């Protein structure tokens, strides 16, 4: 990519899209477009085609998706499948039709079978059953990878994919209906501190292990892949920093200054027991994460305090 290239970041207002935007702006890119979902609903093929015909982007970062935590995924299964299939199919097909030079599709580590060997390697895709709570979302993401691969195979389109681990950072969502584990814990633990509650209730047993990465590290990975990777399939992008939900709650408590207890609710789903990516392929390509979990959470908590003040 050159700073004069026209870039479309689908989902530019979201956590990942805004991080890619910050990164590209910092590199001197100025021709960046990224309308909101209100301005352009990517589920609509006619509007999507019209947008591509008008803007003619050179490069596309595909970070638009219906995204949510375990509760939202479990409750709105049809919407997670339908919206994501429509959004990504429309963007990928319009990118092919309008002659986009390269597209990067953002998937997620939920594409892997629930009991695949850990750390998860790219070759474990489609080797077993998915985690039931987010199966529709995972199936949409797997379809996205396959769309990129089949367009490469049939039409020669340079469409690539990346599968990040759990992410956190600026512009994350803190509403408890839709949030991921880290913002949900920050919000609950902060509220308990302010309201002087002695206990915080946490979904599940607290034992699942999760790999968390700051979204700025992912933005670096996305730009690195756009510049250096031109192959089929996809690459994992993880931090290698693995922590149990229980230890994460303790780390957040120490940052927030909450000294109460946690009550774990084992009647609520835990999700996949362990999820850590083997990111060695991306490391071999020359990318490495740089932000420690503690530093990243401190920054996010400051951001949360600032935006809620
Ligand atoms: N967050 C994570 O932990 C994580 C982990 C792994 C992978 N990922 C992947 O990264 C990508 C982005 O995730 P994120 O965390 O940045 O999500 P996010 O903050 O919810 O952002 C999603 C973006 O998608 C846009 N969008 C949703 N529906 C749309 C529609 N119908 N038409 C047009 N735009 C639409 C939203 O636009 P508006 O804001 O304008 O409504 C928003 O900007 C997703 O593919 C996700 O699977 C995320």
Output the pLDDT for position 271: 76
Reply yes or no on whether the pLDDT at 133 is more than 90.
Answer: no
Q: If pLDDT is split at 50, 70 and 90, which confidence band does 70 have?
A: confident
> What's the gap in Å between 108 CA and the centre of ligand 1?
11
User: Looking at per-residue confidence, does 203 or 289 come out higher?
Assistant: 289
Q: Report the mean per-residue pLDDT for the chain.
A: 95
Reported as a pLDDT band with limits 50, 70 and 90, residue 176 is: low
Q: Measure the CA angle with vertex 40, ends 36 and 46; round to 5°.
A: 165
Does residue 36 line the site of ligand 1, with CB under 6 A? yes
| Largest separation between any pair of C-alpha atoms in the chain | 60
82 is catalytic: no
Query: Does the C-beta of 15 come closer than 6 Å to ligand 1?
Result: yes
For residue 216, count CB atoms less than 10 angstroms from its CB and return exposed for 0-12, middle for 13-18, buried for 19 or more. buried
Q: What is the domain partition of the chain in residue ranges? A: 7-172+212-240+275-291
The pLDDT assigned to 270 comes to 82
Flag the least confident range among 34-43, 165-174, 235-244: 165-174
Ligand 1 centroid–CA 66 distance in Å is 6
- Whether the per-residue pLDDT at 177 is higher than 70: the answer is no
Ligand 1 atom having least distance to the Cα of 42: 32
Instruction: Report the half-sphere exposure of 302 (CA within 13 A, side-chain side).
Output: 6
In this predicted structure, what is the pLDDT of residue 69? 73
Band (pLDDT 50/70/90 cuts) for residue 58 is very high
Q: How confident is the model at residue 149 (pLDDT cuts 50, 70, 90)?
A: very high
Rounded to 10 deg, the angle between the 293-307 and 245-256 helix axes is 60
Q: How far, in Å, CA of 87 to CA of 105, rounded? A: 11
pLDDT digits (tens, 9 = 90+) for 95-106: 999 999 999 999
Supply 143's token pair: 């379809």
Kindly name the residue from 137, 151, 168, 229 that is annotated as catalytic: 137
pLDDT digits 0-9 by tens, 220-279? 999 999 999 999 999 999 999 999 999 999 999 999 999 999 999 999 888 778 889 999
Do 249 and 200 touch, CB atoms closer than 8 A? yes
| DSSP symbol at 131 | P
The answer, yes or no, to whether any atom of ligand 1 lies below 6 A from the CB of 98, is no
User: For the chain, what percent of residues have pLDDT higher than 90?
Assistant: 87
Most confident segment among 58-62, 200-204, 304-308: 58-62
Phi-psi region of 121 (alpha: psi -120 to 50; beta: other; left: phi over 0): beta
64 CB near ligand 1 (under 6 Å): yes
CATH number of the domain at 7-172+212-240+275-291, please?
3.40.50.720
Q: Report how far apart, in Å, the C-alpha atoms of 260 and of each of 19, 186, 198, 207, 304 are.
A: 34, 14, 5, 19, 20
Q: How many angstroms does the Cα of residue 282 sit away from the middle of ligand 1? A: 22
Q: Which residue has the higher pLDDT, 69 or 46?
A: 46
């Amino acid at each position: 990519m050159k700073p004069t290239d026209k870039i479309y970041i689908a989902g530019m207002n979201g956590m990942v899209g805004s991080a890619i935007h910050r990164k590209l702006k910092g590199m001197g890119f100025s021709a960046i477009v990224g309308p909101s979902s209100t301005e352009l609903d990517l589920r609509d093929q006619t509007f999507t085609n019209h947008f591509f015909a008008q803007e003619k982007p050179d490069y596309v970062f595909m970070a638009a998706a219906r995204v949510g935590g375990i509760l939202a995924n479990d409750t709105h299964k049809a919407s997670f499948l339908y919206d994501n299939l429509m959004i990504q199919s429309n963007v990928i097909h319009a990118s092919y039709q309008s002659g986009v030079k390269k597209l990067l599709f953002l998937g997620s580590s939920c594409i892997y079978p629930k009991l695949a060997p850990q750390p998860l390697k790219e070759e474990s895709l489609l080797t077993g059953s998915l985690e039931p709570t987010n199966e529709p979302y995972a199936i949409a993401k797997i379809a996205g990878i396959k769309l990129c691969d089949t367009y490469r195979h049939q039409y020669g389109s340079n469409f690539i994919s990346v599968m990040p681990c759990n992410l956190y950072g600026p512009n994350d969502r803190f509403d408890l209906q839709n949030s991921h584990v880290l913002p949900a814990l920050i919000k609950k633990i902060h509220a308990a501190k302010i309201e002087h509650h002695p206990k915080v209730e946490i979904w599940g047993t607290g034992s699942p292990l999760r790999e968390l990465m700051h979204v700025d590290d992912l933005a670096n990975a996305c730009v690195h892949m756009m510049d250096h990777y031109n192959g089929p399939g996809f690459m994992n992008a993880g931090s290698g920093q693995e922590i149990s939900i229980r230890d994460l709650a303790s780390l957040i408590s120490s940052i927030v200054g909450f000294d109460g207890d946690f009550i774990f609710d084992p009647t609520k789903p835990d999700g996949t027991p362990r999820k850590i990516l083997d990111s060695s392929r991306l490391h071999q390509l020359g990318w490495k994460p740089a932000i420690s979990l503690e530093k990243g959470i401190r920054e996010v908590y400051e951001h949360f305090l600032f935006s809620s003040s």
